[in-house]
Structure 1
Amino acid sequence: MKTMIPGNISILLVDDDVDDQEIFLLTMQDTGTGVECEFACDGIQALEKLGDGGYQPHLIFIDINMPKMNGMELLTALKQNPRLGKTPVYMYSTSDQKEIVTKCMELGASGFMKKSPDIEELRREFSSVIDNRLPL
């Protein structure tokens, strides 16, 4: 699924929960920043989208708990890919246990965001990530 919000920042969200994809999209729209959002339902689908080199997002957000290939496995695969290794990857999950966060950072995550029911809090966090992203 691809949703355009006018702008020049491309974001991939990898999350198997369609409701979380919708919340992510609404939150991105609320940031007031133009972005293009792509979605993948698991790590395998994300690697397929990214595989041929035709799609290179500026930022990637990954849920940890997914079927087929979990978020940490996908993070590892992305960081081993010479083309994608420098792309900022943020883990985006309901699990924020210290051990999980530490492991994700050790694997190369740029940051960790806890899913929150508070849309305003999410908007602030997403805005901060977008504002501080690497130069395009």
Structure 2
Amino acid sequence: MLPTPSILLIDDDTDDQEMFTSALAFIDSSIVCSIATNGVEALRQLKNADTLPDMIFLDLNMPLMNGAQFLKEAKATNRLRDVPIIIYSTASDIRTIEEAKQLGAHQFISKPEKFSELVGLLHGLLYPATK
């Protein structure tokens, strides 16, 4: 049996949060998903957490501290450096993707429009051996 992953979603869009958490619940209802609405809130949650998430999904366009700023900060923090951060954004231009990867993003995925596509995408990321 595969271990149940824990996820942190950093995204200020409530519709995207709901679709993401619904997709995770569809895959496996025991997946733990915490949500932060911006980079400042996420850093505060991570600083106070007893255990770190297995993966962080990070939107780029958010208030207070955007995704690129959070990514820079996280990769400069010893405790967070090795947590895979996956950019989860509506942006899909080559320049933005390359910039995110240079800042240390583990992967870059564009937000799918269809629920079924999101389920397939998340399942493949969370359980790669069972694709």
When normalised by structure 1's length, the TM-score is 0.87
Q: 1:78 aligns with which of 74, 77, 84?
A: 74
Instruction: Specify which of 95, 99, 104 is matched with residue 99 of structure 1.
Output: 95
Q: Share of identical aligned residues, percent?
A: 34
Q: Which amino acid aligns with 1:109?
A: A
**Matching residue of 2:42:** 46
Quick one: which of 45, 53, 67 aligns to 1:57?
53
Is 2:8 the partner of 1:12?
yes
Instruction: Tell me how far apart the structure 2 counterparts of residues 8 and 32 of structure 1 sit (CA, whole Å).
Output: 8
Number of equivalences:
127
1:127: Cα distance to partner? 0.8
Please tell me whether residue 116 in structure 1 is matched to residue 112 in structure 2: yes
Q: Write the deviation string for residues 58-85 of structure 1: whole angstroms up to 9, x where unpaired.
A: 1000000000000011011111111110
Segments of 4+ moved more than 3 angstroms: none
State the Cα RMSD in Å: 1.6
- Give the conservation status (yes or no) of the 8 Å contact 1:90–1:112: yes
Query: What do the CA deviations read for 1:23-46 (whole angstroms, capped 9, x no partner)?
Result: 000111122373100000000000
The one-letter code sitting in structure 2 at the alignment partner of 1:29 is A
5+ residue gaps, structure 2, are none
Whether the 8 Å contact between 1:49 and 1:55 is mirrored in structure 2 is: no
Q: Structure 2 vs 1, CA of residues 53 and 26 (structure 1 numbering), >3 Å: closer, same or farther?
A: closer
Please name the residue that 1:3 is paired with. none
Q: For the structure 1 residues 130 and 33, does the alpha-carbon distance in structure 2 shift closer, same or farther, using more than 3 Å as the test?
A: farther
Under a length normalisation based on structure 2, what TM-score does the superposition of the two structures give? 0.91
- In structure 2, the partner of 1:37 is 33
Q: Return closer, same or farther for 1:53/1:33 CA change in 2, 3 Å cut-off.
A: closer
Q: Secondary structure at the match of 2:9?
A: strand
What one-letter code is carried by the residue in structure 2 that aligns with 1:63? D
Question: Given residue 88 of structure 1, which amino acid in structure 2 is its aligned partner?
Answer: P
